[in-house]
A and B are shown apart, each in its own frame.
Chain A
Amino acid sequence: MPDTGILPHLDLAPVKRRRGEALGAWLLTLPAVISFVILLLLPTLAAIVMAFSDFELGVWPPAWIGLENFTELLGDRGFRQSFANTVIYVGLVAPASVGLGLAFALLIEAGTRGRAFFRAVFFLPVVSLTVAMASAWQYLLHPTIGPLNTLLRSLGVAGPAWLSSSDTVLISLAAIGVWENAGFNMVLFMAGLTAIPRELREAAAVDGARSAWSRFRLVTWPLLGPTTLFVVTITLIRSIRVFDTVAVLTRGGPNRASETLLYTMYTEGFTFLRLGYSAAITLVFLAIVLVLMLLQTRVLDKRVHYG
């Protein structure tokens, strides 16, 4: 408090109110703080500790084994395959679903007719029960009775066993992933597009950017930069979490050809009950997510200052 050299004013109401405000604030945040500590903070710390132990369900007490889980991960062919699969899956899903999302958004925004209708159609997969729609995809991609291979056969092509051959299983899962994510990205791009003033595109047209493509390249695409970056990171983080379709359709098979990080973490932890090892995989997963988020804020910061 500043020393004004005069006697403190006798009106204590503001001080009291301040104290009451702090007390009220603590009471209001208390339920959230308690549940945060019990359900989020402590379990996260526990997962980190577990990753350095040989914790197995039913074996007590666990021992501290330092980095052993991580060195085992490095030599574990199953884990390396799972890691590589996840990278391939993300590498297929992210560019395709971001590109498709952008295409949907541009196509819808380019005219006035059918906007709400097509937005709903493309968005439908986002609100659909993944497990159920995975079953629909399984039928669609069934090697003998599936409509896709039936169509291919009528064209004289023998379609592969999409989900049960190790050559095509990741591509098939990625196709489902693109189908799931494109509508979500479309909505984010549409929000970004509405923030770009129409006059800018019109001005570019006056200045000689005659084709729609050059207007897109010169105006829309650069101004969409921050949105695109945001969509790309979100898609990376969403697709690295792939679990449902793997658990429902392939269980990581055939021969681990479709095992992904979270699915390996799940089987190690909840099928083989090797919780320490599973926690180590969780930490790898967490590290990747954190790096992606860090990259996003770094690049976003630059963009913001640049403007």
Chain B
Amino acid sequence: MRDLPRLALLSVLGLLMLAPYIWMLSASLKPTDEIFRANLALIPERWAAIENYGRVFAQVPVARYLMNGVIVCGGILFFQLLFAIPAGYALAKLRFAGKEWIFGAVMFGLLVPPHVQALPLYVGLSSLGMLNTYTALILPSTISVFAIFLFRQFFRSLPDDLIHAARLDGMGEGAIVWRVALPNAWPAATAFAIFSVVAHWNDLFWPLIAVTGHEHATPALGVLHFRTDEAGDDFAALMAASAIMTAPLILAFLFAQRRFVEGIATTGLKG
């Protein structure tokens, strides 16, 4: 049992890391007066799960927030892949004038954090009357130089023979991208998809700028609205709302743990 001290230490650290989740769930099950009595019992004396979660579902368009999150993350990912995969392929496998310029642009884009473009994008979208739309939420993130970089790296290891064979079969470059290159790039595509969805599902900065009101609010904005509008000191309902909004990504993570960790680790350089 040489492993015992290690496991004990890991368990203590693990409990510390899990503390916010444990207390969030515990408070979401307790009636408000019990929370205000401030005892350290995790199990409620009187179960109030149904009334707390019911209050959230009654006061908050939970389904709408979650659906907005899916629409926004899905839209962003779709365009990111649509733009980045062909560009990554061209940069990795084709010879053309201007290639160095495009690669330089990719490196430039990697250096600039997305917050820098926020002000001009806000002005532009507002003068086009496009704030408070899904477009405003999706459009600024449709280009991911990081995705271009990632796919370029990945496609470089694709055997040239595979591409030559496809050309001899009469396939155009466009068909080669989607029917030959992409099927061989699933690891990169999954890693990037996980990275992108986690980043945009959790993002607060841009949605806070681009959208007001509930109609287009993403889950992050939804929690924020609920805090300011309804919850105040209603910690029971606030914890229930937080648990509901956090659950989808955490469940996805628990189901595909390994892919998540690998996805974030390989794409980690973008932060």
Binding site for B on A (CB under 8 A): 18, 21-22, 24-29, 31-33, 35-36, 39-44, 46-47, 50, 57, 103-104, 107-108, 110-114, 116, 118-133, 135-137, 139-140, 142, 144-147, 150-151, 154, 179, 182-184, 187-188, 190-191, 230, 234, 237-238, 241, 243-244, 247-248, 262, 265-266, 269-270, 275, 278-279, 282, 285-286, 289-290, 293
Q: Known contacts A183-B17, A262-B205; can you find 5 more A-B pairs with CB under 8 A?
A: A22-B94, A44-B120, A107-B6, A125-B17, A135-B241
A286 touches B116 (CB 8 A): yes
A113-B3 contact given A33-B102, A128-B249, A128-B250, CB 8 Å threshold: yes
> Interface code B109-128, partner A: CB below 8 Å = 1, 0 otherwise?
10111011111111110100
A123-B260 contact given A33-B102, A47-B119, A269-B119, CB 8 Å threshold: yes
A282-B10 contact given A32-B83, A130-B220, CB 8 Å threshold: no
User: What residue of chain A has the Cβ atom nearest to residue B105's Cβ?
Assistant: A36
B6 touches A133 (CB 8 A): no
Interface size of B as a range: 35 or more
- Please name all residues of chain A whose beta carbon is closer than 8 Å to the beta carbon of B116 when the two chains form the complex: 43-44, 47, 282, 285-286
Task: Say if the beta carbon of B193 comes within 8 Å of chain A.
Answer: no
Contacting B10 at CB < 8 Å: which of A36, A107, A133, A285? A107
B117 touches A44 (CB 8 A): yes
B198 touches A135 (CB 8 A): no
Tell me the bound Cα distance from A182 to B17 in angstroms: 10
- Please name all residues of chain B whose beta carbon is closer than 8 Å to the beta carbon of A285 when the two chains form the complex: 113, 115-116
Chain A binding surface SS class: helix
A244-B204 contact given A187-B261, A187-B264, A237-B271, CB 8 Å threshold: yes
Tell me the bound Cα distance from A202 to B246 in angstroms: 43
Tell me the bound Cα distance from A18 to B6 in angstroms: 61
Task: Say if the beta carbon of B235 comes within 8 Å of chain A.
Answer: yes
User: What residue of chain A has the Cβ atom nearest to residue B79's Cβ?
Assistant: A35
Closest approach, in angstroms, between the C-beta of B47 and any C-beta of chain A?
18
- Please name all residues of chain B whose beta carbon is closer than 8 Å to the beta carbon of A135 when the two chains form the complex: 24, 223, 227, 238-239, 241-242
24 A–B contacts, CB within 8 A, in A order: A24-B173, A29-B91, A36-B109, A40-B117, A44-B112, A46-B119, A104-B13, A112-B3, A113-B7, A121-B14, A123-B261, A124-B18, A124-B253, A129-B202, A132-B241, A150-B39, A184-B264, A188-B265, A237-B271, A243-B204, A270-B122, A278-B119, A279-B119, A285-B115
